[in-house]
Every structure is written in structure tokens, then in C-alpha cells.
Structure 1
């Protein structure tokens, strides 16, 4: 279908005047003039014509589309903010009855439906116009490219405009939260009901994709090598590692049909995407293992990937449906049995892929060749990093029957594989190859304690050395570059190819600081209105929502709001695990380190709270790491082997501490002995306190000796443990303080008792009055 017809069919009637005027651009280009001579030739195309076309395309039309996109998106955010203002707060929760809140929820659902519809149309508007600009520039360069080229300038302009920046997920998250509140008010959701499922969650990874400029390639490699080793691929499974072995060359052949339906589904994202490819490592003449893969991405974040090895001679019969892998199935049955689960799974996978190829009428269309360097700790898959260089895309199709790139009766190009061509594939015709100028860095991270507290990974992902491209796909990029005449939709990252991806380190740091500050602000704003609905029991901040609080958040919002007061929280959001070749769509989330202090150590400064002490009390990240297969705990570190060589001042410092403890023990013993001798036989308080001080003296002596021996052992072992041990001084200090207070209290009570007894004795009469006497006016006389 011609793009003009595609654009006309995609127009949203209320915005029909805001789309790219594609027909006007064709008229300005004089597309109907095809004769190279006379009026229709190059001689009739003047500088004025070129100026008019370029100004109309890169200024008038681009500003019209960009302005409409910006105004519409701002209006949608205003409408979303207005809906957020209707949400209840602790002050307004009791101001309306339940029926009034239900009426608000019903009105909000209608408005949210309208907002969602407009947001979806805006996404389609941005993508179809983006494709239209590239199509118009391509027509110009094809017709007037001998003297003028407009596409490089257009791509620079496109990279500077916001309408082609596809990031609507933060706003979608806000809409989802409001949808949830409205459904709960209407009784469609039960917030207290926990999801019940017997299915255990599978391990998922988050994929982060970046472009690396060739000037920064070595620095990125060395930064990674300081923490992760290179994962060596040995196709011969040799026992002796060859240090001169080069990084392997990987080849993938992607399938699609003449309508490029698989490409369309991956770019548009409106329908579940599927992809099929053949993949191998090294040269095909070396008979490597070839794997046939199919990846299915559902409506959510989960994906499903099936694969099985296939021999080269069976590929073409398999694609035609003439061979169903009977030999492989029979071998597996002989080894495991007919009823084995692996046999049933293999049969199911073979049938699924073969039927999918037959239904979609798929055939090989694109080859991607690249050199891969993998970084990973053997047996530890928490962090997996791959760096792909020398990336080239080659047409592998037979769409043009008169000049096919591949033999119609074969599944691959024999000119490449038989001649063992390597990058840069100089023998391939210009229109059949596209070389990617950057390296592709992909970081796959499993959500664990180790990865959430990984500073070096966070620094790399936010450095000036790399440029993030979240949704980059080799298959999508190769088709967009080599089959642009066959497709009517392009990925947004194409406009970044004409710009310099290198950044100034200071600028990159400032952008990261602004991003984290904006993240904290957004989390507080979003959490403020969510805290009064489904998460009302949490201690989130309350208040009016921010005008543009946009940020994708994971986990409990209330926890994010509380944590954002102190630091920037950006937890990893689990998504579908990417395929082995790393050609899926990742979602990048930064990693931040987290350290906190609590309890008695944060309250008492006497307790060591240094970074060194906290790290060794908490344990390093490797303490909890499982050992790789075949690796045993040596028990003793290499650094601890051999004769210890310790400076004399270390031993003397330990001895001085021991002597100080003995000094304290002697002083306490002397004090207790003097107190006991000075106390009389009847002074039980002094005698008891003397015994208490004697106990503290004994404890100080024993403690000093024990700590001296313990620290001597740590010095001998060259241990990295913390030498601080505050229990002894703390116990002696508190004990002496209590003893002194008790001594003061007992002495005070003794003095008080003495004074009370003296007063009673002074007031006692000297003569005992007989019962028949009485006192008159202070005197007493015998009664007559």
C-alpha cells in the first residue's frame, strides 16, 4: 500500500488539519516530473524550489505537527490532573456520602475512558507523522539527491522535537491508579483480597539497552572488566583455554512475510508481537549448531520463548513443511521414553513453530551479523552484559523475483556463507547492506539484593559513555533501514542516527541529578493521592497532586513515597526475560545503592558506625552469593596463607590496650579492698559495695585478657573484620555508674534514718505521766 493511502486511512477526523500535508509535499517536489530533460529535468529544479521544499518540510509542517502533539499532550495531562483533584483526601473523605463518591467515580470512569482514547490516538498521530516526514525526505533525496539531500538535516530536527519521543507510560500509570480507585468505589474491585495462585513466579530480568560510540568503546570495556570477567565461548569445548581466541561472530536470520506483519507488530506495540529466527555462532562452513527460535510477547510484560536445534540440511524441508524433525524426536524417545515430558515439549514446539511459519507465510528476509563480547561471572547469572560490535544488516529476501537476494530454493545467501565473508562485507551491494555505526550494549539484571546495591553498575548506566535506547531491536532496525519502501511505519530511534551520541561528563551528571530530583517529586505527588484510596492505610504523604507527576514506579507506592524523603528510589521493575540474542525490547531502570543505620549503633556514638564497620557487620555482597558449580569454599583466603608480616606498632598498640585494662582492674581492686577494710562490722552496705567493685575488677581483668588474645588472633590471620568491641567498656561504665548511684542512695537513706531517730529521742518526755494527771497550759500538776 502506498504511504499516501496509509496516511489518509490513519487520520483522526478531529485532528485532520494537524497532520503532515503529504500531498502538498509531493506537489512541491514535483513528483510527477520524471523526464531528465526539458521542463521535468534537474535543470528546472532551482535553489528557490529547494528552499521552499525544505522550509515547508522542516519548519512549517514539522512545527505544525510538533505543536499539536505538545498542546494535545499537555491538555491530556491537565485533564488527568483534574481527575486527580477529585480523589478524596483525609480532609475531604468524610465530606461526602458513599453515594456521592460513587457518582464521582462513575463520572471519572467516563473521563478516563475519553483520556485513554485521546492518548491512544495521539500515539498513532506521532508515529504516522514521524514516518511521513522520513518518507517525504526519502522521496526528495531519491529525486533530487544528485545535488541536494534533506534527510540528514530532517533527522537532526526530528531528534530535537518532542513529538517523536514515545514515553507515555508514566501518564498511563496515573490513569491506571485512578481506574483502580474508581472501580473500588463502585465495588468492582476488592482492595483487601489478595491474589491467589499456586504458580510460583519465574525468575525475570530487566533488560537495559544502550548505544556506545566507537570512541568510548574501550573505556566501557575496561569499566566492565574491573568487575565482571569475559565469558569465553569455545565452540570446540576444548579443555585448554586459548587466550588468543577472538570474540565469536554471531549470525541471526529473521523471518517475515511480504507484508512485514511481524515487523509491524513489534513497532506498533498495539498487538502482541512474535518473531522467528535462525541463529548460529561462527561460520556456517564450520558446521555450528543452528537454533530455530520463536518468541511470543503477550499483552503484558510476560514473554514466551521456544527453541530447538536443527541441522542445516533439514532447514529448507522444515520450512516447506515436508519434514517434521522425526529423526530428532525418535532419538529423544529412544533415550528418554515415549511418555517423557521433554519429548512432548519438543513435539509441541516443533508443531507450533511450523504451523506459525505456514500460517503467516514466513520466509527469511534479514540477516544480522555482529561480534559479541559477553561479560558474566561463570555460574552467576545475576548480571549478564553483552557488547555487540561490527553490526551489519544484510537483505536475505526474495521479494523481487527478478533480482532476488537469496535463491528461492534455499533458506540463506550462499554467496556469504560459502565464501566465509566477514565484516565489513565489502562484496555486498550497497542497497543490500546497512552497517550500524555504534556498538550495542545490553545489560540484563536479575532483581536481587546484590543488583539493587550495585554502585558501579548504576554509575555505568548513567554515565556519559553510553546513550540509552530502551526499545532498540536489531530486527526492527534492519527492516527499517533496508526495506523502507515496503513498510509504512518506522521506529523513533532512526532520528538519533544523525546526531552525535557522545556527551560531556558534566552535562551527563547534571542531567542525572535533574532526573533523580524529578523522580522524587513525581513519586511524592503520585503517592499523595494513592495513599488515600487503596493504599490509605499506608503512611504516605497527603496533599494535592502535582500538575505533571509522571514516573513509572514499581512495588508499593507508599513505600516509595516514604523512601523518597531521604533518597531517590528507583527499584528494578521485572519484565520479560530477553532472548539469548538480546533482540527484544528492554525497559531501563536505574540502580541505586542503599545504606542505612538504625538501632543502638545510631543512637550511641561510642558504637563504631563507620563505613568500614557497617560494611563488615553487614557482610559483603559476595557473602550471600552462591558458589558457581564445581567451586568449593577454600576455607582460607590466599591472603591469609604464609607467614604473617605485621608491623611492630600493631602488636604494641594491642599490648597497650591490654595494659590499660589491667590498670583499671588494679584500681578497682584497690578501691574495693580499701572500702572493705574501712567498713565496720555492722556496715553491711559498704561491705556489699566492696564485693561489687571486686567483681568489676575481676571482669575488667578477664575481659582485657580475652580481648587481647582475640585481637592477636585477628592480627595473625590478617583478618578484615572489625576490631571494635564495645561491650566490655560499656558494661564496666554502666556497672560502676549503677554502683555509685546505689552507694549514694544507701548513704543518703542511712543519714536520713539517723536524723529521724535523733528527732524522736529529743521529743520523748523525761518523766512518764501517771494516768490521773493532766496538763494545763503547758504545765502538769498532780490532782488534789
Structure 2
């Protein structure tokens, strides 16, 4: 769909007269070119710029008016909420009792404000794209290059850079007070709850920038924004989180975290807020395999910034770090001993392995959680940026770069030192009792078009792979797909809708609108809504599978469906050429539908016997009830020359035991064949000798084949190779040998008779 059609289909009717006049501007270009016989004069250029400037003034002025209106409405709503809560608490004499209808009416007003924030966000997005489109069209049609120049005018009146977080935080507080009828959940914002018997589920998703504000507004209807200091006004700087990841020059920590090996560690230094923060947290994340019965843990301790360099070099001892803590006696001796053990281990690891600062990650985090209740915690990281620290080659020995702060988007850094991540990262953490389903709204959220599931995504791994191309040749599975647009058509009715009036409907993304959706896609979307639900591990499953304990999770599905290259260790080898990206409309629609099916555990599709294509291949063999979906050929993802893509494969001890049992089963059968051959040799006649030789050859061949397969399987399992472990020819060949041996014996005996 062309942008002009997209604009007409997506605009909000109430804002109709304040959108960029895209069609008129495009017609103005065509008319002037036609009058000038294909040429664009300086007068034409001056007149067009004047018209374009007036359009920018119109959009900018309206955005400012609406923003001010929302601020005033929030203040009025706050006064009404305070008044209603005071009446409910009986702080006024001789007043009418508070009714449920008053709360519902006030909640409806807040939902209208939420809808207005959503509409204004979509308004700014659509107009910004409109200006970019018309500037590009102007430069292409006229030959006059004004896009870089006019971008400065856009930056001066940056209506599209409005930060709605301050609105969202305030609306969240008001909405929570009304939703709980004046009794919001109380507790320590940093507490984690007191549950003991729970299963923690953590899943990660990417969120396109077009959907960030809508996602925040959806979540705040169910969870309040977690505010650590309610008395302090909102400041975006307080949401900033910066981490410095350490590694050695061989990036062994990177490789361990990527492969998810047992005991893989990540060591980082983190601080919250600006560069003036004096408290630095030294953290260690340790990965534990599920079969060990242990959980992956994150432990940390605090240290003053002035002592970090000395501590990392071993010049500042562990006893000195916790000397003040022992004097204050705010923690028990056992807690202090545990922290000292952690600090001693981290210090020894950093010094003995000569680790240096490698990657810095920066982002602004907005967390949603009930204070003191960690059963459901959702965090959204925006403006995510990875920066190259490169402690091995950087001048000076400071633990972090001093030429940058938290001034996103870090424009002064050279391109090779910074990776600006194009999406926000949503992290959903659930603590539910065994057998308990997650909340319904969480299930709808993770299955909606607003998010894209990316299991095991890591900021450290992504930053290392992109910032150190000369040292790292093993990529995570998601990296080759970064160029693919993750926006997709709505999969079910989910998002922000107006409660009192439906003046218009807006699409959640620009790439796919209702006119682009085919009848097949509409049918598929309805069937998908009816037959899928998120599974307990944060992914999804089909209704036909139920709660099958043998169902593959995201990691296993990746490895199970991956093809096996020659070396067997990695899924995809380098090619001389990278397959071109198919940006055609047909391919985009296919890709949209394929991503809409991710909740069916088909992130990397493949059949039950392990046959598959690649990370972005055809969707084959997926069906909804009796309505199968035909295979669609989308492009094949390949690693660039010199790189390999690692697909995680889960390996547990029972896998090794399965290989041993298979070998013993073959060994037992070979013993039986050998016993038969020995019996025929000792007690048979001349003709039995032929049969004995046949059974002997079969027995020896079975032993050699079984031993070879056992050694091969053990090596591949140890390397976590995504290969086909099933035996395709062995049993058939063995049966054929036995059949030939028996057949020859019967034939010779028959001829003798």
C-alpha cells in the first residue's frame, strides 16, 4: 500500500485537519514539474519550502496543544481522584457516600486520557513518516536535495520526540488508585515477595518503536509503574541503567553465555542514573542447566566508584570492601561472609584470566510491578545502546570510558564504537505456583502483534557480536535477521481502544494495514486466536497439544529443526554470497503471517524427523485443526563469510544415557547373532558353516557399526551439535544382512534335498 493510502486509512478523524497534507504536497510537486516541463526552478523550490514549512508549523502546533491538553486533563483527573478517595476515607463531613458508579466514571475518564496519549503518539509517528516520504519524493523528482537541510527544521520543531513517560507514570498512579478503589498495594518497591514454592519464568521480546507507547499504556491498565521514590518528580535520568561487561581477549565469557554451557558466567559492573552516581554494583550471573536442579543465579555487591579500579586489580582487598558493612552491623555475619566469598571469586576470576572491560550497555528501563509483590514483573528497556569499551587497546586503565556519559544517542562516538539497537526489549517475569496458569492479559499480550518473541536474547552477546567483528566469529541466531521488519498485522483484537467514542481506528504499524490483509490471513488470525495459548514457559502452544510435558521449548525447537552442516557443530556455515532480502509485498505478507505463527513454537520450523530449512524459511506442516497451512518459501538466512551462527541446543544427562542404551541394545543383538553363529559352527554340518559365516559377519558388522555410531553421537552431544541423531540406515541394513544369511542357508538346504 502506498503511503498516501496508508495515511488515509490510518488517520484519526478528530485530527483530520492537522495531519500533513501529503496528497496535496505530492500534487504540488507534479503540477510545478508539469508546468516547468520537467524542471524545477528556484522560485518553485522557494514556494514549495514555504508550503512545507507551513505544514510543519501546523503539525507542531497541534501536537503542542494536545500535549498541553493532556497535561491539564491529568491534573483535573488527579484532583478528582484525590477528592473521591478523601470522601471514601471520610475526611469530609456531611457528604454523600461514594458510589461504585463514580469510580467507574472516573476510570472511564482515565481510559479516555490513555486513548488520547495513544492517539497523539500515533499522530506524531504518522506525520513524521509523512515528512520523510515527501522529502524523499521531492529530492528524487526535482533533483534539488533538501532532505538534510529540512531535517534541521524538523529537529528544531521535534514534535515526534515527545517523551510520554512522564504522562504514563502519572496516569499509572491515578489508574491504580481508582482500579483498587483507593487501596493500592503497599510494600517495598524493591522487595521480591515472600513466596517459596514457585516456578520463575522469564521471556524476552522485541518491541518496534511504533508500538512502544501503546504497549506501555496497555500494561499500566493491569500493573502500575514501579516507582522507588513516590515523593520525587519523574526524571528520565533516573530510569537510566548502564552496565560494563568484562571478558578476556578470547571472549570466553561471551562464548560460554552464547552456548549456555553449565556454569557459564557473566561479570559486569552496573550503576543506576547518571555518571555522578557513586555506588557501583559488581554482579555475576551464573547459568545453570535445568537438569542440575539449580536455578541460574545473579549475585552482586556494592562498592564505591573510587575503589573499583583498585579492586579489579587486586590492590583493594575484599576485607576493605566490607569493612564498613561489618562495623554498621546492618547485615548478619552470614550474609557478609557470602558477599565476601562472591567478591573474592569475582576478583580472582578477573585477575587470573586478565579480564578487561569489553562492552557497555545503556538503556532506560520502565518497570511495571505491584510494590512488594514479584509474582508478575514486566520491564521495558528503550534507547538500548551497546558501546565498545575495548579495555585491551584503550589508552588508560580506568574501568570505564570517560569520554561519554548517558547522553543517548551518543552522537560523538565513531560508528565502529556504538551499536544503537533498533527495538525496545520487553522482559516478562512470572512467579506462578506449579500447575497455575499466568494471568489472561499476560497471555494475550505475549501473543499479540505488539511484541516479537526472541528467546535467550542477551544485550552482552549482541553487543559483543556487533562491536568486535574481528574477534568474534560465532553469532547468536537472531543477528542475521536484524534487517527484517518485526512489525506485523494484528493477530487478535488487542491494544488501546476508545471507550466512549470510536471516531477512527488506527493501525498498529505502517507496514501492514487492513487493506493488505487477505481473506486467508483473516481466517488464519481468527483460528489462531481460538486455538493457541501461551504456554507455561512463556511461549505458546496449540490447543491440540495441551500441556504435553514432552513439548519442545524455544531452544529445543531451534536445535531440533535445524539442518546439519558438514562439521555438525553449527547450523549455518558461511557462504560466498548472502541471499538478498526479498522486500516484495508478497514476501512481506508471508513474513508477517509467519511471525504471527511464532506462538506455535515454529520460530524455526521443521518436521518431526528433524528436516528443516533455516532460521527464516518456509512455514510447512503447521495447521489449525483441519485447516492446514500451505508451505511458503521465504528467503534463506545465511551467515556472511567468516561467520557462523550458533543455535542453542539443550543437552541433559538423560541424552547421554539414551546414547548408551542404544549402544547396549545393538551390542545385545550382536551377541545374539554371535551365539547363533557359534552354535552352528560347533553343532552344524557342512551347510551350516555357510549360515555361521553369514551370522558372524552380521554380528561383527553390528558391533563395529554400533561402536562407531556411539562415539559419533557422544562427540556431537558433547559439542551440542544440531545434527540428526536418529539412525536412518543401520536397522534396515542389519535386518537385510540377517535376512540374506537365513535366505542363503534355506536355499542351500533346499538344493541339497
TM range (shorter): 0.3 to 0.5
Q: So what's the TM-score if we normalise by structure 2? A: 0.40
